[in-house]
Amino acid sequence: MKRSSIALCLCLCIAAAAEKPAPIPANVQRALDDITPSDLRGDLSFLASDTLQGRYTPSPGLEVAAEFIASQFRAAGLQPAGDQDYFQMANMVDRRMLVMKSSMTLQQGSETTTVPAQFIAVLDSNGTAKIEHAPVIALKSKDPALLKELELKGKAVVVPGLVPGQRRDLNTYLQTRAFDEAVAQSGAAVEITLNQTRAPVQPAPRLIEAAEAQQHRTPSLTVVSDDLSKWVEHPGAASEPRTISVDIPAPEDKNVVVKNVIGVLPGSDPTLKDTYVMMTAHYDHIGTTETAGRSANNRKPAGNDHIFNGANDDGSGTVSVIEIARALASLQPRPKRSMVFMTFFGEERGLLGSRFYGHHPRFPIAQTVADLNLEQVGRTDSTEGPQINTASLTGYDYSDVTKYLEEAGRQLGVRVYMDKSASDPYFTRSDNASLAESGVPAHSITVAFDYPDYHGLGDEWQKVDYDNMARVDRMIALGMLDIANSATAPQWNAANPKTGPFREAQKKLLGSGRGQ
């Protein structure tokens, strides 16, 4: 095994190298060679087995997965870094919004219109709300700047959602989130998002932090109504005050506890050891045909199969974190910075585990220099064609984390490239986004962005290319090691305006020790 991988490295390096990559020290090469296709296959055939029932958040299968990952971190010699051994316990509420029971009343002067209950869906509400004659503020878009100098307390904020065909680019996404959050905290009576389709879609149940589920928040509805749309089209034309009355039912809540799994390899440098390089992946998936809901690509059971095994998404990333941790933990001397290995719950239900970590970090975010988030690194049969010895990063030109992986790729014969159609849109679609929004240069590393069994029943461990995954994982391990041993921390690319919100978030952290 060792001999053949060295031979492969040599021939690919000679072919690829215009400038000669730095040689890999013998002890590092030995550690990298410990990442083997058979270890990855062994781990993944368990994590993606039917026994774990598709690792839905929350579910007994997810619990078993967490125990397995913790046991592997223990075997690797990582130090536990949760609040209970390797587990970061998250108290959550599993919340289902109930359907509307009564209509909504719109009033202007003596004119009254009703919107029937079936054209209304509750998106967010922390309890029952009885709203009577709330004055209307109609806005043309979810631009947080429009909220400045508006008194929202007690008002009904009416605003269009995305219109069909409108692209949800990074800026729209961040603006919409900031807008909704600002209204939720404002003391407004209700936020009403106009829906363009015939009937609003009842939202899937959501997991919320238990503490948050008790706070006061402005309830949020989505509504289809031509009358309301007209109010938005002519926001200034009303001579008589316009009001909205509506009764919002309380949600159905269930308390659950779920876990992130966290281990750390302490750094060896007296100063740099207080800075952290993270490697992450989500260990949850979408469960079975009963739990998957709209996230399933195909909800019909195929023969006897009703389990979404999520081997590539993201069992592949999870077992890679395990095997890379094991390999790097064997290094003597240890890397200079501390390395944090973490697997998240609840990515499939909205990046929940990573958001939870962002709110409750176990290591100072200001001293966290990078996050390498692994997503779909196992399958090579991309819908774009075979992906052999290649890997891509989302937000490719957002930070110089990319440079470390490009160099590791040159050293090991893996082509690290920018996928122009995926780099921007996928940046916010995985857990790296939660870290990036906290200011940490964070990317997802992927082999195939799209593949035939994505969120399908056929995402099975037998279809993974383990030889390729081992080669890509060695490259990622080497890139992480180079970041951990570098005296300078990776930086956001200030020349790219798309990094603005992340640099802003990072600026808020400055002064608390970042930038080593």
CA distance 441 to 432: 9
| Shortest Cβ 381–Zn ion spacing (Å) | 17
Nearest to Zn ion of 313, 482 (CB atom): 313
The crossing angle, in degrees rounded to 10, of helices 26-33 and 466-485 is: 140
- Would you mind telling me the total number of residues written for the chain in this entry? 516
Residue 459 near Zn ion by CB under 5 A: no
CA distance 283 to 506: 27
Q: Which span (73-81, 83-91, 133-141, 309-317) binds Zn ion, by CB under 5 A?
A: 309-317
Residue list 120-179, contact with Zn ion (CB under 5 A): none
Residue list 401-440, contact with Zn ion (CB under 5 A): none
Nearest to Zn ion of 314, 371 (CB atom): 314
List the one residue from 313, 371, 431, 453 that touches Zn ion (CB under 5 A). 313
Per-state percent for the chain, helix, strand, coil, to nearest 5: 35, 25, 40
Nearest to Zn ion of 94, 313 (CB atom): 313
User: 421: which residues sit within 8 A by CB, 6+ positions away?
Assistant: none
Nearest to Zn ion of 123, 311 (CB atom): 311
| Shortest Cβ 272–Zn ion spacing (Å) | 31
| Shortest Cβ 430–Zn ion spacing (Å) | 6
| Shortest Cβ 314–Zn ion spacing (Å) | 4
Q: Which span (170-178, 311-319, 355-363, 380-388) binds Zn ion, by CB under 5 A?
A: 311-319
Nearest to Zn ion of 141, 295 (CB atom): 295
Residue 314 near Zn ion by CB under 5 A: yes
Nearest to Zn ion of 180, 313 (CB atom): 313
Give me the 322-351 binding string for Zn ion, x by CB under 5 A, dash otherwise: ------------------------------
- Tokens standing for residue 208: 């919320």
CA distance 476 to 471: 9
SS3 assignment, position 415: strand
Nearest to Zn ion of 191, 453 (CB atom): 453
Backbone angles phi, psi at 414, to 5 degrees: -115, 130
SS3 assignment, position 346: coil
| Shortest Cβ 173–Zn ion spacing (Å) | 17
Q: What secondary structure letter does DSSP report for 117?
A: G
Q: Is there a contact between 187 and 152 (Cβ–Cβ < 8 Å)?
A: yes
First to last CA, the chain: 38
Which is it for strands 338-344 and 276-282: parallel, antiparallel or unpaired?
Answer: parallel
| Shortest Cβ 344–Zn ion spacing (Å) | 10
Closest CA to 343 of 452, 408, 430, 451: 430
Nearest to Zn ion of 314, 453 (CB atom): 314
Residue list 63-92, contact with Zn ion (CB under 5 A): none
Residue list 347-406, contact with Zn ion (CB under 5 A): 375
Residue 473 near Zn ion by CB under 5 A: no
- Tokens standing for residue 193: 């998002």
Nearest to Zn ion of 124, 375 (CB atom): 375
Q: Which span (86-94, 252-260, 306-314, 446-454) binds Zn ion, by CB under 5 A?
A: 306-314
Count of residues that interact with Zn ion, criterion CB under 5 A:
3
Nearest-CB residue for Zn ion: 314
Q: Is there a contact between 392 and 422 (Cβ–Cβ < 8 Å)?
A: yes
β-partners of residue 115 are 104
| Shortest Cβ 348–Zn ion spacing (Å) | 7
The crossing angle, in degrees rounded to 10, of helices 2-16 and 26-33 is: 110
DSSP letter for each residue of 82-115? SSBTTEEEEEEEEEEPPPP-S-EEEEETTEEEEE
Nearest to Zn ion of 179, 356 (CB atom): 356
Which is it for strands 385-386 and 381-382: parallel, antiparallel or unpaired?
Answer: antiparallel
| Shortest Cβ 391–Zn ion spacing (Å) | 15
Which residues of this chain interact with Zn ion, rule CB under 5 A?
Answer: 313-314, 375
